Structure 1
Amino acid sequence: MDLRRLASFLAVAEEGHFGKAAARLFRSPASVTAHVQQLERELGARLLDRSPVRLTPAGERFIGHARSLLAAMNAAVADLSEVAAEPTLRIGIMSNGSAELTPAVVQTFHRARPEIQVEFVALDFTEHVSALMQHKVDVAFVRPAPDDERVAVDVLTTERRIVVVPASWELADAPAVHLSDVLELPYISLPDHTPRQFADYLYFAAARGGLAPHCSRSHAVTPHEVLTTVAAGCGAGSALESFQRYYPWPGTVCVPVLDAPLEHSVLATRADDRNPAVRIFRSQATTLARELGPQLRLTAT
């Protein structure tokens, strides 16, 4: 049975007019009329009266079957399209991710599962957890490790902390500093909806004894915005040590903070995610972290 004939019949029955049915289906009135006539001949019963347009008793009995047939076909097509579609793994990356491990993991995954497409999504500071929870990404390279029962965490790097300051500041001339030197800096502000855990990380909250940081009037949610603001002399930022290898920026200087607690970058995934591609990616990431971390200066102690 030609499904186009069923669609034309249903459209005429629901619109009560051949012309309106044709417009709804983006077909000519002649083709819709022909479809209905062909369907009636095929079934051996008149389904529609023409003046006015209305269902005959046979049409009344058949319309439910027609709807079920079309619904079943649409469901079959949708089901097959999901199978036929190329599988995709969406990878979220905050800042420089887990440094050199990030591309190494992606390359290893691609060699192992070349049939899976990979999409990269740049995450800003406010998307520490939300990108995963909103299914914007499937895996995420973030820092610090989210403290959220909905999120599974694999530690990939353990690095020294640094502050990013304008080259014009006196602090920029120091080869290294201590926490006592950086707690009173005017740090770049974050939006109110930034996760508290990320803000605490950025501002060295554990060393403040509950005191709020001094924040500048300038806001930032991406590394580019931070560096642009710092270069303009409008505030300071903080990061992991590998940040300076990825973002050499004129007018800024990265200074190690010697006594700041070491911090991690992690691979975060949804705790309840059973996607095989996610499990493979996690396994490869943790394996490479153990094997390559010491070589890449990503396992400070």
Structure 2
Amino acid sequence: MDLRLLSSFLAVVEEGHFKRAAARLFLSPPAVTQHVRQLEAELGTRLLHRNPVSPTRAGARLAGHARTLLAAANAALDDIADVIREPLDEVTRPLRIGIMGHGSAELTPAAINAFRRARPGVPVELRQLNFTEHVTALTEDRVDIAFVRPAPDDERVVADVLTTEQRIVAVPEASVIADAREEGVRLAGIIDLPFVRVPGHTPAPFTDYLYFDHEAQRRSPDCALTPHEVLTGVITGRAAGSGLKSFARYYAWPGAAFVPVLDAPWESSYLAVRADDANPEVKIFRALTMALAPELRPRIER
């Protein structure tokens, strides 16, 4: 498939207009129109409605794939340019990916698998991050990329929003609050729960996230560094925890109930990297992940 045709098609989809798409690509409108027609002929189906301009069902599906393919192609060109400047005897280093909890739900394994397909010669190392490594895993060079939440508050780190989800509270199955798992609960009804404790050196943004920005809360006698430790406290009736809605899909432990918190602000998961990292593999992984995010985000956030 000709990437030039995909580029013209995607520009028309995003601009909603053939002339504006042509200006964006520094092409003539007839050239863009011809590219779209060639692509439609190649695929044997109409991709765009003309008046007004909008993607057909097939066109909307193709647009997502086009973003992924074009992002990967651009990242590959950047990578090749960097390789030309590298010493010939340089050994390929692994790409170290840190994942806090379940990361960004289904988007995390999708991004990792996409990178492995695009860069089969690059080793990938996965590391599970605990709550205290919200920033330090990157700043202390233990990982190159991190799936974290909430956004790191450190100028040495840059982060892209991947998903934005409703908040949930995890409580023992026998808790009265568990009865509200269908209709949800409000913050006023959970602020006195014995939320699990975290170590004192846990970054403030993460503790604010975990405790819904409430400082004066009773704490469980249990201290936790990982979601598994939180849930151990929950199912033994000693603690409560919190997370994003997708948390319930990945940690459906018997004895734990997950209740939506109706008036808590929705929170995002992020892909974080070092601000000064020039590693081309990091750029490729970031480009692939951001290209995949619009396709998987609606499924994760619903």
**What TM-score comes out, normalization by structure 2 length?**
0.69
**C-alpha deviation, 1:290, in angstroms:** 1.4
**Does the CA-based 8 Å contact 1:101-1:292 persist in structure 2?**
yes
How many residues are treated as equivalent by the alignment? 215
User: Take 1:235 and 1:82, find their aligned partners in 2: how far apart are those partners?
Assistant: 53
Aligned counterpart, 2:110 = 104
User: Take 1:125 and 1:277, find their aligned partners in 2: how far apart are those partners?
Assistant: 26
Spell out the pairing of 1:182-197 with structure 2 (5 A cutoff).
182-197=190-205
Matched, 1:297 2:276: no
User: Take 1:108 and 1:284, find their aligned partners in 2: how far apart are those partners?
Assistant: 7
Moved over 4 A (4+): 79-82
Matched, 1:125 2:128: no
**C-alpha deviation, 1:80, in angstroms:** 7.9
- Residue identity in the other structure for 2:174: S
**Does the CA-based 8 Å contact 1:92-1:140 persist in structure 2?**
yes
Q: CA RMSD, aligned part only?
A: 1.5
- Residue identity in the other structure for 1:281: F
Aligned counterpart, 2:209 = 201
**Does the CA-based 8 Å contact 2:105-2:300 persist in structure 1?**
no
Measured against aligned partners, the alpha-carbon deviations of 1:163-222 in whole angstroms (never above 9, x if no partner) come to 0001111111112111111111110000111111100100001xx4xx422211110010
- Residue identity in the other structure for 2:135: V
- Give unmatched runs, 5+ long, in structure 1: 1-78
User: Take 1:233 and 1:187, find their aligned partners in 2: how far apart are those partners?
Assistant: 11
Matched, 1:261 2:271: no
Rg comparison, structure with higher value: 1
User: Take 1:82 and 1:290, find their aligned partners in 2: how far apart are those partners?
Assistant: 38
User: Take 1:243 and 1:82, find their aligned partners in 2: how far apart are those partners?
Assistant: 44
**Does the CA-based 8 Å contact 2:172-2:234 persist in structure 1?**
yes
Measured against aligned partners, the alpha-carbon deviations of 1:110-148 in whole angstroms (never above 9, x if no partner) come to 111111110000000000000001110000000001121
Look up the SS of the partner of 2:108 in the other structure.
Answer: helix
- Residue identity in the other structure for 2:98: G
Could you say if the C-alpha distance between residues 82 and 204 of structure 1 is closer, same or farther in structure 2, counting changes exceeding 3 Å? farther
**C-alpha deviation, 1:81, in angstroms:** 9.9
Aligned counterpart, 1:13 = none
Matched, 1:163 2:173: no
- Give unmatched runs, 5+ long, in structure 2: 1-85
User: Take 1:257 and 1:273, find their aligned partners in 2: how far apart are those partners?
Assistant: 37
Matched, 1:232 2:247: no
**Does the CA-based 8 Å contact 1:218-1:235 persist in structure 2?**
yes
Aligned counterpart, 1:76 = none
User: Take 2:278 and 2:87, find their aligned partners in 1: how far apart are those partners?
Assistant: 21
Matched, 1:144 2:150: yes
User: Take 1:179 and 1:278, find their aligned partners in 2: how far apart are those partners?
Assistant: 39
- Residue identity in the other structure for 1:130: T
User: Take 2:203 and 2:88, find their aligned partners in 1: how far apart are those partners?
Assistant: 38
**Does the CA-based 8 Å contact 2:106-2:300 persist in structure 1?**
no
Aligned counterpart, 2:159 = 153
User: Take 2:238 and 2:93, find their aligned partners in 1: how far apart are those partners?
Assistant: 44
Could you say if the C-alpha distance between residues 280 and 192 of structure 1 is closer, same or farther in structure 2, counting changes exceeding 3 Å? same
**What TM-score comes out, normalization by structure 1 length?**
0.69
Look up the SS of the partner of 1:274 in the other structure.
Answer: coil
User: Take 1:183 and 1:289, find their aligned partners in 2: how far apart are those partners?
Assistant: 33
- Residue identity in the other structure for 1:228: T
Matched, 1:245 2:253: no
Could you say if the C-alpha distance between residues 170 and 128 of structure 1 is closer, same or farther in structure 2, counting changes exceeding 3 Å? same
User: Take 2:196 and 2:88, find their aligned partners in 1: how far apart are those partners?
Assistant: 47
* Seq. identity, %: 56
Measured against aligned partners, the alpha-carbon deviations of 1:69-107 in whole angstroms (never above 9, x if no partner) come to xxxxxxxxxx98961x33310000000000000010011
Aligned counterpart, 1:274 = 278
**Does the CA-based 8 Å contact 1:87-1:115 persist in structure 2?**
no
Look up the SS of the partner of 2:300 in the other structure.
Answer: coil
User: Take 2:111 and 2:175, find their aligned partners in 1: how far apart are those partners?
Assistant: 38
Q: 1:221 aligns with which of 217, 220, 225?
A: 225
Look up the SS of the partner of 1:269 in the other structure.
Answer: strand
